[in-house]
Structure 1
Amino acid sequence: MTQQNLLLIDGFNLLSRGYFATAYNKSEDQLTKTSDGLYTNALRVFFQKLFNLIDGHGVSHLAIAWDVKREETSRRVKYDFYKASRNELPAPLIQQYETLTKILDQMGINQLVVPPHEADDVIGSLSTKWTSETEDNCLIYSNDKDLLQLLNKQTSQIIAQKRQETVYTIDHFREEYGIDSSQWVDVKALLGDASDNIPGCPGVGVKSALPLIQQYVNVEQLFEQLDGLDPKFNRYKKKLTEGKESVFISKELATIERGIPVFDTFDLNDLKLAIEHEHVADAMKALELRMKYQGVQVG
């Protein structure tokens, strides 16, 4: 049987990175637009990357996952501080998101929004379903390291670093961190995440969080053994005791959901990639963009 590859794209991660990379030190007036005034600086990056990923990784199945509005996520509803420090998005980025979702629909590319869940949870649920129901590979495209908890022998993450991309596998992860991917959420529970306003354990930083989980496996076992904590970690004992509640809330917030009920009856064949060249060409022409898809110039 032919090898199949599912590609799951964290849509806003890619779109926003494309936007801020091309908008750096520019006013909104300096951003590229169509003759009709539609902004396209982030769209160019998004489509070029999308086509390169499809061509370069033998993609047979594809889905782009989008977040719901920040205030409507299940995490934010329960904990109002979650992601509360994030700034409002620039108007040209919002416009390009709206343009993009319409064009992807016209091209027949699967987009998934599942309220009140975040894109990470959609990716977690789909990757888990794919690896439990097939023996094929799943690729996650995102620079969000929270997603490393999803890695397994079939699932890898494509991470962009220093102008090159790495297909980061479970073996890479184990070699770099000395733990299994399922333990990554425990490291995050101790470290927290400033960008998401996840508190972690105050006073426990990068140098101690990973060694603690390497030794104690997870935060549950760490707190069970806190009275007999290894003397080399004694300086963190008081901080851990005081931060216990914060750690468990942080673990809850950092844990990606892998079984959103709507996917219980979802047919993975619905994600099969079937893009018509004609639709791609029409979309690129409308955006006044020229690029290659499957070796053919479009737009």
Structure 2
Amino acid sequence: MKQDTLLLIDGFNLLSRGYFATAYNKTEDQIQKSSKGQYTNALRIFFQKLFNLINDHGITHLAVAWDVKREDTSRRQKYDFYKASRNELPLPLIQQYETLKEVLNMIGIKQLEMSPYEADDIIGTLSTKWTKETQGSCLIYSNDKDLLQLLNQQTSQIIAKKKEEIIYTINHFKSEYGIDSKQWIDVKALLGDKSDNIPGCPGVGEKSALPLVQEYHSVEELFEKIDQLDKKYNRYKKKLTEGRESVFISKELATIFCEITDFDMLNFQELKLALSQDHILAVMEELELKIKLNLKAV
């Protein structure tokens, strides 16, 4: 019997990567459009990748997770600096986002969005629920390294490299970093994240953040033992002491929330794929998207 495999897609991560990869150095009038004037460059990338993933990994269940507006997230409501440095989105990308949500509904792909949570929280909640309730595997599609904290024996992340994609497992993670996936949050708490405007601990960088977590296991334990800090970290003692509050705020912001109660009653049968190749091809043709489609029975 075929093993169930859940695919969780960080929707905007995939859509925006496709957009910027194909719109780079182009003016809006140079970006790919349909004969009706609808922008399609990011849609083409999104759908081709979606169908490739379904085929290549034997996906049986699928959901696309979306962020709510930045201002509506609980993190932004509590800390107004969170993601404050993000630029406004280009109009062709916004238009394709709106089209994409309509089309995914038309072809039967489940989408999930829940205020005040972000897509990462939805992915975290569903992957945790899947691990508790099934024996199947879960694949997360995103290049966002924040999601590494969700890895376990059933849950892996598909990460796109320059010319290939790898299924990054918990074993890969432990081998590379020498810590458990949950401790990735503590590394992020020290390092921060410029793209999300998470401050971390000023003066503590990549060379020290991971070794500190490897040795002290968590930022809580690190600060409990700050007075007996290993001599090799002496140069960081003052920086850590001064940055303590920033570290704990950063940990709060970096922690993916995995217990959205609105999904407690979600039945994974709702995410089971039942796609019609003929219907999908007709929809793609209407959008004037040339997509290679050879779906196995799903």
TM-score normalised according to structure 2 size:
0.98
The match for 1:83 is 83
| Mapped partners of 1:248, 1:43: distance in 2 | 39
The match for 1:109 is 109
Kindly state the Cα deviation for residue 264 of structure 1 after the two structures are TM-superposed: 1.1
| Mapped partners of 1:11, 1:35: distance in 2 | 26
| Mapped partners of 1:128, 1:19: distance in 2 | 30
Aligned pairs for 1:11-26 (under 5 A) are 11-26=11-26
The match for 1:133 is 133
Q: Give the counterpart letter for 1:74 in structure 2.
A: S
The match for 1:178 is 178
Q: Give the counterpart letter for 2:189 in structure 1.
A: A
| Mapped partners of 1:217, 1:157: distance in 2 | 23
**Any stretches of 5+ residues in structure 2 without a counterpart?**
none
Kindly state the Cα deviation for residue 294 of structure 1 after the two structures are TM-superposed: 2.2
Whether the 8 Å contact between 2:277 and 2:295 is mirrored in structure 1 is no
Kindly state the Cα deviation for residue 163 of structure 1 after the two structures are TM-superposed: 1.7
The match for 1:212 is 212
Q: Deviations over 1:201-244 (max 9, x none)?
A: 00000000000000000000000000000000010000000000
Aligned pairs for 1:89-104 (under 5 A) are 89-104=89-104
Whether the 8 Å contact between 2:7 and 2:63 is mirrored in structure 1 is yes
Whether the 8 Å contact between 2:83 and 2:195 is mirrored in structure 1 is yes
User: What percent identity do the matched residue pairs reach?
Assistant: 71
Aligned pairs for 1:131-280 (under 5 A) are 131-280=131-280
The match for 1:283 is 283
Kindly state the Cα deviation for residue 291 of structure 1 after the two structures are TM-superposed: 1.6
Whether the 8 Å contact between 2:43 and 2:96 is mirrored in structure 1 is yes
What is the aligned-residue RMSD (CA, Å)?
A: 0.9
**Secondary structure of 1:6's partner?**
strand
Kindly state the Cα deviation for residue 286 of structure 1 after the two structures are TM-superposed: 1.2
The match for 1:4 is 4
The match for 1:62 is 62
Kindly state the Cα deviation for residue 279 of structure 1 after the two structures are TM-superposed: 2.1
Q: Give the counterpart letter for 1:78 in structure 2.
A: K
Whether the 8 Å contact between 1:106 and 1:279 is mirrored in structure 2 is no
Q: Deviations over 1:48-93 (max 9, x none)?
A: 0000000000000000000000110010000000000000000000
Kindly state the Cα deviation for residue 2 of structure 1 after the two structures are TM-superposed: 2.6
| Mapped partners of 2:141, 2:161: distance in 1 | 12
**Any stretches of 5+ residues in structure 1 without a counterpart?**
none
In the comparison of the two structures, how many residue pairs are matched? Answer: 296
| Greater displacement, 278-287 / 112-121 | 278-287
**Secondary structure of 2:140's partner?**
strand
| Mapped partners of 1:99, 1:116: distance in 2 | 23
